[in-house]
Structure 1
Amino acid sequence: MSLRTSRSARSGQYLALLCYLVFLAFPFLWLISTAFKPATEIGSLHPTWIPHHPTLGNFRQAFDEQPLLRAAANSLIAALSAGLIAVVVATPMAYVMARHRGKISTAATGWVVISQAFPFVLVIIPLFLVLKNLHLIDSLVGLILVYVVWALPFALWMLVGYVRAVPVELEEAAAVDGATRLRTLVSVTAPLLAPGIVATALFAFITAWNEFFFALVLLKTPEKQTLPVVLTHFLGAEGVADLGPLAAAAFLATLPSLVIFAIIQRHITSGMLAGAVKS
């Protein structure tokens, strides 16, 4: 009876997971389908998943109507810079918070939790005034700083968990063997934190790549606008969307995140015990 119950529970879990995957995949698959459909099929009263007459016209029209490559370059610069800076700043802070618990660590943890509750609208006016005084309005540098500050709390929270998962005994054993503090951090702790650092950098990159509100408010020059902002230009004056080119551009905008994740996901878990083995 228990074996049947266990099999039934596992079957239910797999079914729930399958439903969840279908729920996540449906918008993306429909986006791909729309991107390759001609206008006649997009406006059809009986839409189909697979285009009857697939076309690349939507992609050509999207590139002709909007500067997608320039916008993608701006987004890439902002997202990569924000991800790297956030990881560089958060890693030593996370190590100190995880290894030296006290009032400062508790206060920092409280700041992380509270900062995640702030809505964008609440901070945009004071943020705009601060950047204006620093002459960073309509600047990718100012936008990168905003992305770093916005991603830093969650990045710090993630890395603290990874640091606490590293056994302190490994560092103590390295110290007994005569390794200095810096040598221990570089040879023992850093390899163990590598998967967490990669995952955190990926989170910061995707957050900055997809961000729309700050980029819309802070960037006014068309040549500096990021890809999410440029995608809104496919909406007409009356809010009517040009669905074909919009779907094509949106599909291209999702590819960098998918490609980067596909490249690095195998490395997220492969190095979990690398530091312990090397030491």
Structure 2
Amino acid sequence: MRIRTGRSPMDQVSPVVRLLQYVALLAYLVFLAFPLLWLLSASFSSPQDLVRLHPGLIPDRPTLENFIAAFGEQALVRSAVNSALVATTSAVVTVLVALPAAYALVRLRTWLGKPVLAWVLVSQLFPFILLVIPIFLVLRTVQLVDTRSGLVLIYVVWILPFALWMLQGYLRELPVEVEEAAAIDGASRSQILRAIVLPLMIPGLVATTLFAFITAWNEFFFALVLIKSPELQTLPLALARFVGLEGVARLGPLAAGALLATLPSLAFFSFIQRGLTGGLLAGATKG
């Protein structure tokens, strides 16, 4: 009796096609990594290396003067702490508000579901310049201008529509039969959300939290309008000070500061991606 062994689609790909796939993947990785490599090179380059006609990625005269200037002229550490506090708080509050709201829109089927989702999409079409004056007037009325709390409030309101749209997409993919079985056993809505939906939603929550954190971390326009005190300025505002009034940027200190600004995002992503991988494996096991 002959036993037939199944072959996966990857085993049927010819070596030439597989080699081309790896080459394309490597080229894509190089394309994504080049801005970070250039930033790393520029942060260690001397002014003479930066003004050369054809500068290389490896500086001829590596120097730490750019980092010394970046830390000496601007309070980057204080600004980074402000950005971390604002971005982390905004991400946590956004997810805490978006998760039950998305669950209500998906599972509690009412006539308001589709109009609310349509308004969520329409709200993303308004330009920032149209919203900044009403937002400033409202925050000034409640005395939240030039405060971290006011900035967090604006970021939550700004990020919440897209976070809500992301989470409701994840929730629609979850089998409703599991929740119905738990309801038959006597579980309440809050118990179903906490014990069943939340573990299965870990990949979606991780992706949404990462999106909210990076969006708040990199935001510049609202912080520029609302924050006036130097001790409350966020990291994008501190980096903007390396650009002169005539638009001439000091590339060395700016690159050093921008390199330091990317490290917390990379660290946050490396920390939170473990939850993403674990959530995917848990979802596959439970499914």
**Taking structure 1 as the reference length, what is the TM-score of the superposition?**
0.91
Contact 1:62 1:249 in 2 (8 A): yes
Query: Aligned partners of 1:5, 1:202: CA distance in 2, in Å?
Result: 35
- Which residue does the alignment assign to 1:224? 232
Query: Aligned partners of 1:214, 1:139: CA distance in 2, in Å?
Result: 12
Query: Aligned partners of 2:68, 2:253: CA distance in 1, in Å?
Result: 8
Q: How does 1:56-67 map to 2 (within 5 A)?
A: 56-67=64-75
Q: How does 1:62-101 map to 2 (within 5 A)?
A: 62-101=70-109
Q: Do residues 239 (structure 1) and 252 (structure 2) align?
A: no
Query: Using a 3 Å threshold, how does the CA distance of structure 1 residues 20 and 114 change in structure 2: closer, same or farther?
Result: farther
Query: Aligned partners of 2:281, 2:22: CA distance in 1, in Å?
Result: 29
- Give secondary structure in 2 for the equivalent of 1:45: coil
- Which residue does the alignment assign to 1:133? 141
- Which residue does the alignment assign to 2:282? 274
Following superposition, the deviation at residue 208 of structure 1 comes to 0.3
2:150 maps to a residue whose letter is G
Query: Aligned partners of 2:86, 2:239: CA distance in 1, in Å?
Result: 17
- Which residue does the alignment assign to 1:264? 272
253-262 or 127-136: bigger deviation? 127-136
Q: Do residues 250 (structure 1) and 264 (structure 2) align?
A: no
Query: Aligned partners of 1:176, 1:19: CA distance in 2, in Å?
Result: 53
**Taking structure 2 as the reference length, what is the TM-score of the superposition?**
0.88
69-78 or 40-49: bigger deviation? 40-49
Aligned counterpart in structure 1 of residue 178 of structure 2, from 137, 159, 170? 170
Query: Using a 3 Å threshold, how does the CA distance of structure 1 residues 220 and 106 change in structure 2: closer, same or farther?
Result: same
- Which residue does the alignment assign to 1:156? 164
Query: Aligned partners of 1:123, 1:7: CA distance in 2, in Å?
Result: 55
Following superposition, the deviation at residue 14 of structure 1 comes to 5.1
- Could you report, residue by residue, the CA deviation over 1:81-140 in whole angstroms, capped at 9, with x for unpaired residues? 110110111110000111123321111101111111111111111111111111111111
17-26 or 106-115: bigger deviation? 17-26
Aligned counterpart in structure 1 of residue 219 of structure 2, from 198, 211, 217? 211
Following superposition, the deviation at residue 17 of structure 1 comes to 4.3
2:53 maps to a residue whose letter is L
Query: Aligned partners of 1:193, 1:236: CA distance in 2, in Å?
Result: 46
Contact 1:94 1:157 in 2 (8 A): yes
1:254 maps to a residue whose letter is T
Following superposition, the deviation at residue 10 of structure 1 comes to 6.4
Contact 1:190 1:275 in 2 (8 A): no
Query: Aligned partners of 1:202, 1:190: CA distance in 2, in Å?
Result: 17
Contact 1:188 1:275 in 2 (8 A): no
1:49 maps to a residue whose letter is L
Query: Aligned partners of 2:111, 2:164: CA distance in 1, in Å?
Result: 17
Aligned positions, number: 277
Contact 1:170 1:276 in 2 (8 A): no
Query: Using a 3 Å threshold, how does the CA distance of structure 1 residues 28 and 275 change in structure 2: closer, same or farther?
Result: closer
Following superposition, the deviation at residue 45 of structure 1 comes to 2.2
1:99 maps to a residue whose letter is R
197-206 or 5-14: bigger deviation? 5-14
What is the aligned-residue RMSD (CA, Å)?
2.4
Can you give the 5+ residue segments of structure 2 that lack an aligned partner in the other structure? 1-10
> Between Structure 1 and Structure 2, which shows a larger proportion of helix residues?
1
Can you give the 5+ residue segments of structure 1 that lack an aligned partner in the other structure? none
Q: Do residues 118 (structure 1) and 126 (structure 2) align?
A: yes
Query: Aligned partners of 1:9, 1:95: CA distance in 2, in Å?
Result: 44
- Which residue does the alignment assign to 1:34? 42
